[in-house]
Structure 1
Amino acid sequence: MLTAASLRMLAPSSSLAQSREIEVAFLSDIHLQDVYATLHSADFKGVFHPKTGKYATIRSMKSQLNSTRLFNENYFAFIQALEDLKHKGIRLVVLPGDFTDDGQPMNVLALQGILERYAEACGMRFFLTTGNHDPVKPYGGIGGKKDFLAADGSEQAIAGDADFFPSEKVAVSSQINYWGYEEITHALSDFGFFPAAQDLFWAHPFQELDVDGYDFRRAMENSRLDQRLYKTENSEKLVPDASYVVEPVARVWLLALDGNVYTPSGANWSGSSVGFNQAVTAKRHQLEWIKKVALEAAKRGKTLISFSHYPLVDFHDTASDAMKSLFGEQKFQLARVPSPETSSEYAKAGIRIHFAGHMHINDTGMFKEAVSGKTLYNVQVPSLAAFPPAYKILTLPEPETMEISTIQLETVDRMDEFFDLYRVEQQWLLQTDDPKRWNPRILDARDYLDYTRNHLLQLTESRFIPTDWPENLAAVLQELSQMDLERWAGMGSEDGENFLMKKLEETNQTERPDDFQGKLIEDFYLLKNGDELGKNLIPAVRLRFYESFFLKLLHKPLSESQVLDAQLVRFFSIFKQLYHSLPSDHFLIDLRQEEIRRFEKKPSSLETTPQR
């Protein structure tokens, strides 16, 4: 697949490495939706927007506030992030999956146009890997969404077939169907999935790693998707594996891992969002290939940087088992947490640093393999479509020294472009007395950071608390004041239980005595999703309280009991682990010394974090 972009530079170049320290940006979970798409539909072309004179193809705010991500404003956040990278002069950009809403033609082609524009104008190189949203199904299929915003504020269903939503009036458009591997990788062929002339090396799992004999034209011939197929488990059906390794600049290998696993279901396919807990067995060929790549990279002095949509290490600061005990194994997306056995396999395979998305959180995890002693670092890249909206920059001052900066998006141009349309929606919901009408305070957001934080808060109230939390625990956490917590900390189990049950009886009967009351769950999500970025938003007075309060709980034993007192003790144990996390904002990973060092306020000051 020799494209025009592939031929722009026929000679390999290492000018990036020679002119400055190597920098790689990671922008994950963009979930791009074309907000001004051409639907080619006789039934619906969007909502006419007086501000722009164009038809907006956006989803309703009601839908956004019931989803773990935004659908509309993240389009502008993506452009803002690319503009930021342009001004920083960063030319290597990785997108670790879920780069579109659901791999639909209108969204993949919109992404293609944006990437081509920045590649042409700024010399950026983009390297993509797949996510569970792209492709949803390996060979595509009919798709649709029933929550597009209509002119009167109601919702409009759009699908590739009129019968896709039997109970809805459907606007038919092929632009909303699911594309599969073939269509997606073809449209985005210039962005890592296939070799490019300027790369020093490129290979996929189904060919030999012939570095010395590498030839670009032969690599192109061998890169066709029909040569990159594997058999699914318990089936003879074949599915593509879009993994690849590439050397875009001298001495740096980017290892793109396709962690998607699909299971045949009759004539259809079911996808999976579990990640490497399944891929470790379903894609055994991939794991064996990783071992070869890691050995070859080490032999040749290459810095191997792995990335995938899916994480390789626990992303809850080792609190996942405690969370399963308290909330349940199917809550908080805990099925997506890599098991220690999974982490061990990839650490032994030779991966030392891995960048992942999928979870829409900011985090750094570390796993030390017991037998080999190998250490694997997992860097969770936040989503641009959720709180905290941020991306990562990896700088390589030395081959085994990695400086990682987290760039938070606060100001996003055109963030409020659709707010007037949402106000029409709000009126519709009021007129129809819709029980899922949303709180209009989200439209008062100061900036994009505030907007995504409000999105998280409303999502917590409407979805997370009702579905993920033990009812009494959630209720009492929203009732306890700072004074109540101080009193409870000094009680034994029986007295503590009686005290908490009495507080439950008083729910909503007393005025809140301090600003602390009702903030515990909010702070929990700021830490769980934002890590250090979320911690920065918690007032200093509450941070000081938490640090002293943790010490007062040392005498309270952890118990698997489901009584409220025991649940609260376990909650604060989890809270403490999230609070005392590994660095995740601006930090250094020294692979040689196996240390993480946090950059403090002054970049010259480094604090070494001991390994667990």
Structure 2
Amino acid sequence: MNRKYILPSILGAAIHLISPNPQLFAQSSTEIKIAFLSDIHLQDVYADLQSPDFRGLFNPKTGKYATIRTMKSQLNSTRLFNENYFAFISALEDLKKKEIQLVVLPGDFTDDGQPMNVLAFQKILNHYAKNFGMRFYVTTGNHDPVKPFGGIAGKRDFLGVDGSEQAIAGTADLYKNTDAATSDQINYWGYPEITQALAAYGFFPSPQDVFWAHPFEELDYDSYSFDQAIASSNLENRVYSDADSGLFLPDASYLVEPIAGIWLLALDGNVYTHSEEDNWSGSSVGFNQAVNHKNHQLDWIRKVSTEAENRGKTLISFSHYPLVEFHDGASAEMKSLFGPNKFQLERVPSSETSELYAAAGINIHFAGHMHINDTGIYQDQSTTHTMYNIQVPSLAAFPPAYKTATITSQDNFEIETIPLTEVGHMNEFFDLYRMEHRWLLENQDPGIWDTTILASKDYLEYTRNHLRELTKSRFIPSDWPENLAILLENLSPKELILWSKMDEIKSDRFLQEKLRTLQINPGGMNPKHSIIDDFYLLKNGDELGKNLIPEDRLSFYEELITSLSKKTFSSSVQNLNRELIQFFGIFEKLYQSNPSDHFSIDLKNNTIKKIQD
């Protein structure tokens, strides 16, 4: 692969799609608001597949043909595929009402970067930009260019006309021995096609912006010219040599000043590996790999942060990938208890990675990728560099929410997390899912799912039920020590308080006896709401999840955590007592987290404070 395969940037209508809007920022000029919407994973639920084999599934409720994935597939995925389409529109409608017009999207804006999904995303952005003056700034995620130069792709799990799965592939050869429909709309687009389609939304200069630059040119603010920026922004000029393959790859990073004084630094953290067998494949690890494969970015960040400081600009970086540990300091303990490859722990930035980016000058960073709500803080040993990593939740998973940053001065931010509770059209496909469920029953398919999710009263409850089903069917079997999960799902609060006061020998004996009883009688207690459910509310939702835990259970956790502060275990013996103590050590860190719902950050004084609503 060489440079000639990289398409040039477009210089035509798309870049000039949005005319300058003099009404930008109806709010006070001294107070600037930016919204952050991450991990939308948009799929066009009424796509034109341009296929003679499959038009879609007719939806009597709308009179249109739905191109949706099965509920079975949704309940085995960390993200929704269908209802998040409506969640995205609901979030934009909310921003419209709030008159927030600067919107940052930190990656995974589509589900795998297929033409049908990128163009649907483009159409939605065009509508809100043209009609409501919104300005969007996008960066890439691992689900956008899955492969840097695209390729043949397919999905096996679309919902078919009779309720069974319908495979759709870019070529009939992809899924042999299956009745697959063919459509080029399901193939992967790469950097050239995706950045071209979304040229107006940050990837290339806009006449509305005060300034725009990329890592492969001199940072010349005083002599900035829009015409020169357009000429320089050609994707051919924005490539680096991959150290492993020696081939050239695009880097879609950019710096933009949308309004005077605010610098948004979009970091393309995608890393790809090359082999003759599978051509290119992407990595989801993030900056732990980017720091080696894209070290040109660090040099650029140093220049940008120095220039921002010298010019009195407020620098906000964003990327799909986090720059700071996002489990409230519990990642090391999680690796010890669950294993280094569980809970997606390989995605946790190392302290060495955090140190490099903090030292380069990043103070505040907005990230997605993990589908969680969290605030991580890195501070080096000399306390010279502090970096705040704001994890923006996904609109396609629990907790469905976006964040806003209100900038009141160069160093002061007010961060607010806005849950997406009500979503219009949320139940538009529920009758189709019921048809799917009937088919699964009739065919005795082992992938049968619990229809109670279709009784969800709103989108927040829907995503929470999705998380519950995902925990039961995927997370516990794959990530948890079996005996520990059995105990946590069945021990009552009274039994745990009793255990917390026992010495080590009695503790292990008590747990072993309890485990034997549960194995003899697997029906046991198995309460509807277990500690593992609360664990995921905290791990994924942080303060948003904690707000959903009933008061009596919060009181129980407070009592248990206090009691366990005096409890010890022998480091040389691996037993149930030790595992349970380790688990509650992790639980306590998640429980006593940094502010992540509504809070302020003062970069000058390195302080973070919770704001009581």
TM-score class normalised by the smaller sequence: over 0.9
Evaluate the alpha carbon distance shift between residue 360 and residue 44 of structure 1 in structure 2; reply closer, same or farther with a 3 A threshold: same
CA shift, 1:125, in A, is 0.3
* Separation of aligned partners in 2, 1:385 and 1:559: 42
- SS of aligned partner of 1:249: coil
Evaluate the alpha carbon distance shift between residue 66 and residue 559 of structure 1 in structure 2; reply closer, same or farther with a 3 A threshold: farther
- SS of aligned partner of 1:367: strand
* Equivalent position of 1:594 in the other structure: 606
Say if 2:167 and 2:179, in contact at 8 Å, map to a contact too: yes
* Equivalent position of 2:392 in the other structure: 381
* Equivalent position of 1:369 in the other structure: 380
Q: State the Cα deviation string for residues 303-348 of structure 1 (Å, max 9, x = none).
A: 0000000000000000000000000000000000000000000000
Which of residues 249, 274, 298 in structure 2 aligns to 1:239? Answer: 249
Aligned ranges for residues 22-421 of structure 1 at < 5 Å?
22-266=32-276, 268-371=279-382, 373-421=384-432
Say if 2:24 and 2:101, in contact at 8 Å, map to a contact too: no
User: Which amino acid in 1 is paired with 2:11?
Assistant: L
Residue 471 (structure 1) aligned with residue 482 (structure 2) = yes
Residue 579 (structure 1) aligned with residue 591 (structure 2) = yes
- SS of aligned partner of 2:265: strand
* Equivalent position of 2:4 in the other structure: none
Aligned ranges for residues 545-560 of structure 1 at < 5 Å?
545-557=556-568, 560=571
Evaluate the alpha carbon distance shift between residue 547 and residue 166 of structure 1 in structure 2; reply closer, same or farther with a 3 A threshold: same
CA shift, 1:144, in A, is 0.4
* Separation of aligned partners in 2, 1:276 and 1:84: 32
User: Which amino acid in 1 is paired with 2:318?
Assistant: F
* Separation of aligned partners in 2, 1:363 and 1:393: 14
User: Which amino acid in 2 is paired with 1:496?
Assistant: S
Structure 1 residue ranges without an equivalent (≥5): 602-612
Residue 438 (structure 1) aligned with residue 436 (structure 2) = no
User: Which amino acid in 2 is paired with 1:573?
Assistant: G
Residue 4 (structure 1) aligned with residue 13 (structure 2) = yes
* Equivalent position of 1:452 in the other structure: 463
Evaluate the alpha carbon distance shift between residue 15 and residue 144 of structure 1 in structure 2; reply closer, same or farther with a 3 A threshold: closer
Residue 485 (structure 1) aligned with residue 475 (structure 2) = no
- SS of aligned partner of 2:258: strand
User: Which amino acid in 2 is paired with 1:586?
Assistant: H
* Equivalent position of 1:604 in the other structure: none
- SS of aligned partner of 1:219: helix
* Separation of aligned partners in 2, 1:130 and 1:14: 29
**Which has the higher mean CA deviation after the structures are superposed, 551-560 or 272-281?**
551-560
**Which has the higher mean CA deviation after the structures are superposed, 2-11 or 104-113?**
2-11
Q: State the Cα deviation string for residues 537-582 of structure 1 (Å, max 9, x = none).
A: 0000110111111110112225554311100000000000000000
- SS of aligned partner of 1:459: helix
- Provide TM-score, normalisation by structure 2: 0.96
Residue 423 (structure 1) aligned with residue 442 (structure 2) = no
User: Which amino acid in 2 is paired with 1:73?
Assistant: E
Say if 1:479 and 1:518, in contact at 8 Å, map to a contact too: no
Say if 1:21 and 1:397, in contact at 8 Å, map to a contact too: yes
Say if 1:586 and 1:598, in contact at 8 Å, map to a contact too: yes
User: Which amino acid in 2 is paired with 1:358?
Assistant: H
Say if 2:490 and 2:525, in contact at 8 Å, map to a contact too: no
* Separation of aligned partners in 2, 1:21 and 1:45: 49
* Separation of aligned partners in 2, 1:527 and 1:18: 36
* Separation of aligned partners in 1, 2:525 and 2:60: 47
User: Which amino acid in 2 is paired with 1:224?
Assistant: N
Report sequence identity in percent: 62
Structure 2 residue ranges without an equivalent (≥5): 1-9
* Separation of aligned partners in 1, 2:275 and 2:226: 38
* Separation of aligned partners in 1, 2:583 and 2:152: 43
Q: How many positions carry a matched residue from both structures?
A: 600
RMSD over aligned CA atoms reads 1.7
CA shift, 1:486, in A, is 1.3
* Separation of aligned partners in 2, 1:205 and 1:536: 42
* Separation of aligned partners in 1, 2:361 and 2:593: 25
